[in-house]
Structure 1
Amino acid sequence: MSLYSNNLESRQAVVDTLVALGVKGLNRGTSGNVSVFTGDGMLVTPTGVAPEQLLPEHIVYMSLDGDPAEDQLTPSSEWKMHADVYVNKPGITAVVHCHSPYATMLACARKAIPAMHYMVAATGSYGIPLADYATFGSQELSDANVEALSTSLACLLANHGQLATGFDINGALKLAELVEEQAHCYWGTLAIGGPAILDKKQMDDVLVAFASYGQQAKREDLASGNKLNED
């Protein structure tokens, strides 16, 4: 787990990640947002600033209660969704939200991603859940997101996009890429009759195998709501 600070390095990491979302085809324009947890608050991307114009000093430092420090830009309208993840998912230190094409298509069709490929287990779960629809930036959306993430490190947001979390910002970005890859695969199988679903035992075996890979041993703990300090 990486804990971030309100410093230039952390701010630059947030900028680089938002830019990377566009470069990797996971986001366009000013949609999407990125944050990191600082222990006493978070750094989050501002609203309405295009990635190519974003500078470290534009990143907003704010409390998890919604109070930004003085003389800053307005934070993302979806800051609450990020803050509530940090409150409810101990150990998570980064959140990436984007409107990647295939994940968004499935979200608009209100289709969660089932266990059609073993890499779905990289979320620490048996599938990639779908959060109920709510207006962007609302407490209702944040609540729906937290509920969907109660058993997973990532989810789709109905009629919206996807959200991925991580033990560091690189992990959150990689998981967002994986969600999009799995969404693309699922979308493709739906066009040819639908996927063959792995059963619970098969997915249990994958989750056990993943647990032997470094920090992924803690993904199951987070997905099930256990705190890291209880290990």
Structure 2
Amino acid sequence: MKLTFLYNPACEMRRVKYKFLIVMKLTAILLLIGAMHLSAASYSQKISVSRRNTTLETVFQDIKQQTGYLFFYSEEVNVNRVKIHVALKNVPLSEALSAVLEQQGLTFNIINNTIVIRNQIGNKTLESIKNNFVEISGQVTDSKTRQPMPGVNVSLKSNSNIRTQTNAAGEFRIAAQPEDVLLFTYVGYQVKEVKVGEKKFLNIELEDEVTQMNDVVITRLSNHKKR
């Protein structure tokens, strides 16, 4: 008996297509899982930035170097409008961005590996924020000696991440709004709070902490023998 085997090309093509579809589905699932892990890892990344008298553009470059993320913003977002002071150490990415952008009237969204910066929409318009946000300068001196005090910590009470220190001449510069309150701290001196108001230059005097001590009177008694 002679057997004859017939080859059906159509059946073979269907099997190839079926295997191809399975591979494509598995690939899509793996890519989705990878994207989810990448997104979660991006929010858990720690950021460390220490800059004085710098711009947002420079801070963005620091974050880009540490995370590999790109920044995108339109011409309406002015990243060089004012000088800022940033001191962040091991802070999550989202928290770092919020701290840096909050006082600038900006907000952000993270899409894949891109951080999109846009103007914040709220009760205050962008124009009012531009007008209110000014650079405050001043000098800190000792209330008794009238000598300049270097190394005094100056920060915003509402956001301690925005801070600076006085230089050798006791001078400082910091970006703030009229309603902000500045904190001046130095070891051995009383903490001082000053509302910015309409002044562009502040003369600050710090008083040392006085430790009150009760007067102690010591009386020495001695016996003298008569000769």
Q: What TM-score do the two structures reach when normalised by structure 1?
A: 0.23
Q: RCO greater where, 1 or 2, for CA within 8 Å and sep 6 or more?
A: 1
Compare the two structures and name the one with the higher helix fraction: 1
Please tell me whether Structure 1 or Structure 2 has the larger radius of gyration of its CA atoms: 2
Q: What TM-score do the two structures reach when normalised by structure 2?
A: 0.23
